Amino acid sequence: MTASLAQRLAGLGLHAVAGALDDIVAKATQKRWGPVDVLSHVADLETAERARRSMERRMKCSRLGRFKPMADFEWSWPTRIDRDAVEAAVRLDFLAENRNVVLIAAQGLGKTMVAQNIAHQAVQKGHTALFTTASQMLLDLCGQDSARALERRLKHYERPTVLCIDEVGYLPYDGRNADLLFQVVSRRYEEKPLILTTNLAFGDWAQAFPNAACATALIDRVVHHADIIAIEGKSYRRREAEADAKKPKPRK
């Protein structure tokens, strides 16, 4: 009887209830639940299960992969960092006004780690997020073989609540790449926030967009509503490499 009922419940999409049916019946009998109690418990189970599945889907779509939590961030290492601004970004304070967050730092100072934690927090809070590098995104967009296919991929980057574009400016962009980046930024302008990480001050972005007519307009749209966080200091990774080099090597 319960096996047949479990199948029917699963067919209706009530997978959590179907899987826990025997426990629900036993608990309802033991505690002498009335109909409202049973239905309330069923609703709680299904709500929790659907929230869990939704979280898993959003986390998978975020493309975050493995990353270090902010608890591991060494605040004392950078010579300059606005901790309050970083923590406000990780709390998603920028979402209320759809502000961008731009993290400017040399390599190895944790800007990617901060961006990943912002995206992760967005997913945890029920939003959608997507993390990508500038080179990955532009390679994807440039690889589309028709206007319709390109439009679909542009919507892919327009859709998430939070879009994190890592490593803007690490490589020079030709006019085509710059125009595509401009399209992504423009579609999200004043609608949905961007999280950008870059190793270049805005005055040096001409190095990354040497022949792009849209460079000035691109910067204007990025910084118009933005929290700009600069991090200065020596590279964490260089410090770790130097520490490893000083360790005594095992004898063979």
* pLDDT, tens digit, 9 for 90 and up, residues 115-139: 999 999 999 999 999 999 999 999 9
Answer whether residue 247 is part of any domain. no
Answer whether residue 250 is part of any domain. no
165 and 196 in one domain? yes
pLDDT at 22: 86
77 and 51 in one domain? no
58 and 74 in one domain? no
Answer whether residue 252 is part of any domain. no
110 and 11 in one domain? no
Q: Which domain covers residue 99, as residue numbers?
A: 70-238
* pLDDT, tens digit, 9 for 90 and up, residues 174-188: 888 889 999 999 999
Place 249 in a pLDDT band, splitting at 50, 70 and 90: low
- pLDDT at residue 81 is higher than 70: yes
- Least confident residue range of 1-15, 94-108, 110-124: 1-15
130 and 37 in one domain? no
Q: For the domain that residue 108 is a member of, what is the CATH number? A: 3.40.50.300
Answer whether residue 145 is part of any domain. yes
94 and 44 in one domain? no
Query: Alpha-carbon distance 244 to 242, whole Å?
Result: 5
228 and 107 in one domain? yes
158 and 101 in one domain? yes
